[in-house]
Amino acid sequence: MRFLFTAVNKDLARLRRDPLGFATSLGIPLVLVTLITLVFGGGQATPQGRLLVADEDGTLLSQALTGAFSREPLSKMLLMATTGREEGQRRMDRGDASALLIVPKGFQNAFLQNQPVQLQLVTNPAQEILPNIVEEALSTVVEGGFYLQREAGVPLRIIAAEQTPSDDTVARVSVAFNRLGRSLTKYLNPRLIDLELYVTAEKREDQNVAAIFLPAMLFMGLLFVGNAHALDIWREQSWGTLRRLTTTPASLGTLLGGRLISLALILSGVAVVGVAGMRWFAHVQVASVPLATLWLVLSGTAFYLFLVTIAVHASSQRTANVIGNLVVFPLSLVGGSFFPFEMMPDWMASIGRFTPNGWAVTTFKAFVAGSAHTTDFLIGTSYIAAVGSLLFVLTLRRMRKL
């Protein structure tokens, strides 16, 4: 027991003397987590682009046309900016906007007099969603203008015929609109068509972007930490620690157990910071903080045993480093530790969930969402304990031959 405490203290002392190595292992995922949280704000992702408007008419009707894009929900997705035709074309050529809308001079006069007029919409071919949104919204507005012209064309042309409408013109137009309103009443009151909605499935809440990315980044960090500590066995071998230990009453199993305990202590701090960051920095609702934290520690320890088993079976430290990277990076990519499963094709996500880190991150998300409880934690712990024991024995047998 005394040697176990000495082994744990030795590993922690080495970490204190070389904090940069540990910081480097967690640096990449933590930076990505911070950037993702700052970009999305822990909320629902909303596409956002820029709509350039070249209003060459400058009339009340042209302003009403472009004003449709300044109302919600379009205003949340598009930042509208006025510009000239040539400047707008130059900005579109540079890819600075999602679309350019050109309203030609004489637009209002042509509409009121029921004459042909052409709106020009230039879209960015490098984008798909936002240009389509602009095109569909503009088509709806144009179609509404067509029906307005068809039903109220006569009053509109009466107004357009005079620069300053007289009292008689205003009266005639008012009477015409009043008659139009009465003619539409038979369709609107009572309504000829009633729409009844029946909700057959519970509405899903908007998915928090941070809730998708943060678990993936945390488990990628666990893989990096496990791989970095797995290579320490070869450093112990190069320093002669393993050879000298075989001549003492202490066992290699105690040394390996001490490394597991010291790593678990390190991972405990990482897990606490990670879960706390999810809850208070990224505003992700964590249903069970203790279970989520303990699962991170257990998963990180299991990753270490998996990677150290691979490392000790390599022929040299350099080979172990190469093989470790060849294992970690594909696992990160396929197992949902780099790209979340929600962003993968279904066939790839199905495969990724069967990887060690894919299973672990899926279970972790269940603890965060509250769909997994203590019983699931105990079952998962028993699996990790069984596999971990086998990996411990394989590593220990190989360490005796280094």
Q: How far apart are the first and last CA of the chain?
A: 24
Give 178-211 pLDDT, tens digit per residue. Answer: 776 676 666 666 666 666 766 655 544 445 666 7
Residue 31 is predicted with a pLDDT of: 66
Residue 302 is predicted with a pLDDT of: 94
Lowest mean pLDDT among 49-63, 156-170, 212-226, 347-361: 156-170
Using pLDDT thresholds of 50, 70 and 90, give the confidence band for residue 374.
very high
- CA-based angle 277:278:280, to the nearest 5? 65
Write down the mean pLDDT value for the chain: 80
Residue 301 is predicted with a pLDDT of: 93
Cα 63 to Cα 29, 55, 56, 67, 311: the distances in Å are: 47, 8, 11, 6, 68
Residue 359 is predicted with a pLDDT of: 94
Query: Average pLDDT of 7-22?
Result: 71
Q: Which among 381, 356, 396 is positioned nearest to 257, based on CA atoms?
A: 396
- CA-based angle 26:29:32, to the nearest 5? 140
Give 92-133 pLDDT, tens digit per residue. Answer: 888 888 889 898 888 888 877 778 888 888 888 877 788 888
According to DSSP, the residues that pair with 54 across neighbouring strands are: 102
Query: Average pLDDT of 307-326?
Result: 90
In sequence order, the 6+-apart residues with CB closer than 8 A to the CB of 139 are none
Give 123-178 pLDDT, tens digit per residue. Answer: 888 777 888 888 888 888 888 777 766 666 666 666 656 566 667 766 766 776 67
Q: Could you list the beta-strand ranges (E) of 107-158.
A: 120-123
Report the C-alpha gap between 135 and 77 in whole angstroms.
Answer: 14
Q: Which of 130-134, 162-166, 267-271, 371-375 has the highest mean pLDDT?
A: 371-375
* Type of residue at 7: A
Report the C-alpha gap between 170 and 176 in whole angstroms.
Answer: 10
* 163 vs 236 pLDDT, higher one: 236
pLDDT of 386 > 90? The answer is yes
Place of tokens 């987590």: 33
Phi and psi dihedrals of 314, rounded to 5? -80, 165
Percentage of the chain beyond pLDDT 70 is 77
Domain ranges of the chain: 2-42+206-399, 49-176
Enter the CATH code of domain 49-176.
3.40.190
SS3 81: strand
Give 337-355 pLDDT, tens digit per residue. Answer: 888 888 888 888 889 999 9
Centre a 10 Å sphere on the Cβ of residue 373 and count the other Cβ atoms it contains: 13
